[in-house]
Amino acid sequence: MSVAVDDDLWTALGDPTRRRILDQLLTDGEATATSLADHLPVTRQAIAKHLGVLDRVDLVHGQQRGREKRYRVDDAQLARAAAQLRQVGDAWDARLQRIRRIAEAIEHAYEGDGEVG
């Protein structure tokens, strides 16, 4: 069972600061790089770079309003990421179940030999 995973999306989500930015945007609904920097222990410039990465993978979208750019989470892309994560989790659950069945079969075969271990 092969799961199609968007590596660029997961690379973007792999950074803890970007996950915190997403959390803050989900809490606030929308925010600027400046307002996000007020809530996170990084500079506005660093936030802007992280927002650029999130924007490139369509997790956030910025809209210019006057001199500010306000960012919002793209709910559809976030749902896509969650679905991929579920698929990966399901695939690993299936693999672990197969390993368990193999281990149990080995254990039963070993017990059938009459040896005590």
d(CA 26, CA 23): 5
pLDDT tens digit string along 63-86? 999 999 999 999 999 998 888 888
Residues 6+ apart with CB under 8 A from 19: 13
Domain, as residue range, for 76:
1-117
Note if the pTM is more than 0.75.
Answer: no
Q: CATH number of the domain that 86 lies in?
A: 1.10.10.10
CB-neighbour burial class of residue 31 (10 A; exposed 0-12, middle 13-18, buried 19+): buried
List, for residues 75-116, the tens digit of each pLDDT value: 999 998 888 888 888 888 889 999 999 999 898 888 876 554
Q: How many domains does the chain have?
A: 1
